[in-house]
Structure 1
Amino acid sequence: MVIFPAIDIRGGRCVRLLQGRFDVETVYAEDPSEVARRWERAGAKWIHVVDLDGALRGSSVNEGVVRRILEEVRVDVQLGGGIRSMEAIERWLSLGVKRVVLGTAAVKDPGFLRDAIREFGERVALSLDVKGGEVMLEGWRKPSGIKALQMAARAKEMGLSLLIYTDILKDGT
């Protein structure tokens, strides 16, 4: 088992949401890159970074913050939040992200997930944010109508190598 310490970024800061609720936010640090350096010093092999603003907007918002993390740590970084096109995947991988984490776009369009896996292989992960067994979309706000186990099975058939499962009701508690 691999444990991925996570850094959730909103408004350029390191935050934690309670059960995916954007109105219940705790700020843990003003500088996410310092948090990344702490995780690295503690022995982390990977750091999981989420652009929460990007998840809401549908495109990357905190690029400068993520770039700074990439510049300041030597461990592998995986990034999710607002990555919804092949071009965005290519761009982040070229900037030094080791793996991209897809969510909303991959669930809405399984063809996109299939294409991403074919082109980028193990450099693509799928994140399923789940509430009551159902996958939630767009920053945990919209139900997809798709059961998590159903989506996981589909992704496995496509050759997915890494699935990240978040139980929204437990997250941040």
Structure 2
Amino acid sequence: MTETSRRPLTLYPAIDLKDGACVRLRRGEMEDATRYSDDPAAQARRFVAAGCAHLHVVDLNGAFEGRSANAPAIAAILDAATVPVQLGGGIRDMAAIEHWLDRGVARVILGSIAVKAPALVREAATRFPGRIVAGIDARQGRVATEGWAEISDMTAGDLALRMQDAGVAAVIFTEITRDGMLEGLDLDQTAALANSLSIPVIASGGVGEIAHLAALREVARDAPGISGVIVGRALYDGRITLAEALEVLGAV
């Protein structure tokens, strides 16, 4: 077994917030949401107690509204969590970036502004090295913005290269058509993206069973830029346990 095949991938359990509660969407549709918990802070504590070393939090309302809309829930998660938290959704200006980094967020995820205000991303990455991540959400390869409501003409690959040049610490890649569908990650797009970049790529969208994580681990042997994976619905539904996910990813 090579060193690459033994390299652990980071598990990022997802806490997606809508109207103050933990939910999961299907294909990014706000009206197709399943509510899982009314206590996001308690959910964060459960993930940490189970051995997760990172948390991935998204303000879904904020992504559509263009501003933080679940601030009390996010603050409660930050107060409860004892591990690094990365946060995205509705963070569209320097004041918001500074606010959440000062509040204790480890890394801020910038999505829509990566397309619409790349100069701001570059400025943020310069001011906060290692703490700015680009969230690249694509529908069949084309980048989506404004909470996935708008599809641009830019490809995920083109945006990823621009974000790397801007100095972001990592890229989160989500194929929207798979998100919440439990049918597996888009391994081909993820691997191609990882092999085109020199910064880490975090996979997202579609994990539904432990075999999907095993497949990602295998693909990562030839695409070492893949550094981790975000898992949501499969954890909440009990299709995958945190213990087995961490084991398959080599994180324990």
TM-score, structure 2 normalization: 0.67
Q: Is the 8 A contact 2:141 2:155 kept in 1?
A: yes
Counterpart Cα distance in 1 of 2:60 and 2:36: 14
The structural deviation recorded for 1:157 is: 1.7
Greater C-alpha radius of gyration? 2
1:132 matched to 2:166: no
Give the 3-state SS of the residue equivalent to 1:122 in structure 2. coil
The match for 2:92 is 84
Counterpart Cα distance in 2 of 1:110 and 1:73: 31
Give, as a single letter, the amino acid of the residue that structure 1 aligns with 2:12: F
Identity of aligned residues (%): 44
1:29 matched to 2:6: no
Give deviations 1:127-164, integer Å, cap 9, x for gaps.
01110101100000001211000000111122222100
- From 154, 164, 171, give the equivalent of 1:156: 164
Counterpart Cα distance in 1 of 2:50 and 2:178: 25
Counterpart Cα distance in 2 of 1:42 and 1:167: 27
Give the 3-state SS of the residue equivalent to 1:79 in structure 2. strand
Give deviations 1:65-86, integer Å, cap 9, x for gaps.
0001111111111110000001
The structural deviation recorded for 1:2 is: 1.8
Counterpart Cα distance in 1 of 2:78 and 2:165: 32
The match for 1:18 is 26
Counterpart Cα distance in 1 of 2:168 and 2:101: 17
Give the 3-state SS of the residue equivalent to 1:100 in structure 2. strand
Q: Structure 2 unaligned runs (5+)?
A: 1-8, 182-252
Which deviates more, 132-141 or 154-163?
Answer: 154-163
Give deviations 1:85-131, integer Å, cap 9, x for gaps.
01111010111111100000121111111111111111110001110
CA RMSD of the aligned region, Å? 0.8
1:64 matched to 2:72: yes
- From 49, 52, 57, give the equivalent of 2:57: 49
Give, as a single letter, the amino acid of the residue that structure 2 aligns with 1:42: A
Give the 3-state SS of the residue equivalent to 1:115 in structure 2. helix
Give the 3-state SS of the residue equivalent to 2:147 in structure 1. coil
How many residue pairs end up in the alignment?
173
**Normalized per residue, which structure has more strand?**
1
The match for 2:108 is 100
Q: Structure 1 unaligned runs (5+)?
A: none
Counterpart Cα distance in 1 of 2:174 and 2:91: 18
Q: Is the 8 A contact 2:114 2:163 kept in 1?
A: no
TM-score, structure 1 normalization: 0.97
1:5 matched to 2:13: yes
